[in-house]
Amino acid sequence: MAETRLVLMRHGQSLGNEANQFTGWNDLDLSPDGHEEARRAGRLMRAHGFRFDAAHCSMLRRTIHTLHHCLDELDQTWLPEYRSWRLNERHYGALQGLNRDDTIARYGREQVQQWRRGFDITPPEVELDSPHYPGNDSRYATIPRADLPRAESLATTMQRVLPYWKETLLPSPQRGQSLLVITHGTVMRALIGHLNDLNPEEARTLEIPTGTPLVYEVDAGGMVERAGYL
């Protein structure tokens, strides 16, 4: 059995999940249930004796707060933390903040399902003067505007995420270091699709539970030896 672990986890239930919204890069917090999901995940990992060398999350508070709950329960709050926009949720463009049922009523179920789960289908782009455009958010001020999305498909989200995997995450298990990565549903689909060598259809149809650690045991070459949810 490999001793190096990569744990991927979707944040706990957010207020956007609770309200059935297209949340995307909207910076909503966890719901009360989401806070408890995160604490429970931390307790579960501690009960299984998990020790990490570093932790990564997105730049959105629902992953940051999930991470902090987990580290509190693990008694590992001293771990180095790294945050990246590349781990942010898929940007839903002009759909961000809209209720999904209302959007279905306006555009039809088939169109909305294509926007949500079509592998290379992008929702309508957000306008440059919109508060939903990341270029108008100071936390992304150091990122070239050409790199900031106005809307993303699963395919373009994968293109954004995979450089972070290859350049930042993968070198750690190759050095024998275990990582905790708290991110979002679409980013999980991108990473799982890559790690499990899934085709686009398999990746896009993955259902990712909130607040549930997915454990990969990896060898020194970064190859997966075993994987499964706790």
Residue 176 assigned as binding residue: no
159 among annotated binding-site residues: no
The annotation status of 11 as a binding-site residue, yes or no, is: yes
Q: Which two tokens stand for residue 102?
A: 């209302």
12 among annotated binding-site residues: yes
Does 106 belong to an annotated binding site? no
> Of 133, 139, 124, which is closest to residue 58 (Cα–Cα)?
139
Indicate which residue of 11, 56, 65, 184 is catalytic: 11
Among the residues of 48-198, which ranges form H helices? 61-74, 100-107, 109-117, 154-164, 171-174, 185-195
116: annotated binding-site residue? Answer: yes
Residue 11 annotated as catalytic: yes
Is 90 annotated among the ligand-binding residues? yes
Measured CA angle at 227 (ends 152, 1), to 5 deg: 145
User: Is 196 known as a binding-site position?
Assistant: no
CA 164, 211, 42, 26 torsion-angle sign: positive
Residue 89 annotated as part of some ligand binding site = yes
Whether 177 has a binding-site annotation, put simply, is: no
End-to-end CA distance of the chain: 16
Query: In this structure, which long-range contacts are made by residues 37-40, counting pairs with CB atoms below 8 Å and at least 24 apart in sequence?
Result: 37/12, 37/13, 37/66, 37/210, 37/211, 38/11, 38/12, 38/65, 38/66, 38/69, 38/70, 38/211, 39/69, 39/70, 39/72, 39/73, 40/211
Asked whether residue 24 is marked as a ligand-binding residue, the answer is: yes
Q: Hey, what are 39's tokens?
A: 């604490």
Alpha carbons 126 and 93: distance in angstroms, whole number: 5
Q: Is 34 annotated as a binding residue?
A: no
Please tell me whether 140 is known to bind a ligand. no
Residue tagged active-site, from 37, 56, 68, 89: 89
Which residues contribute to the annotated binding site? 10-17, 23-24, 62, 89-92, 116-117
Which residues contribute to the annotated binding site for substrate? 10-17, 23-24, 62, 89-92, 116-117
The residues annotated with a catalytic role in the active site are 11, 89
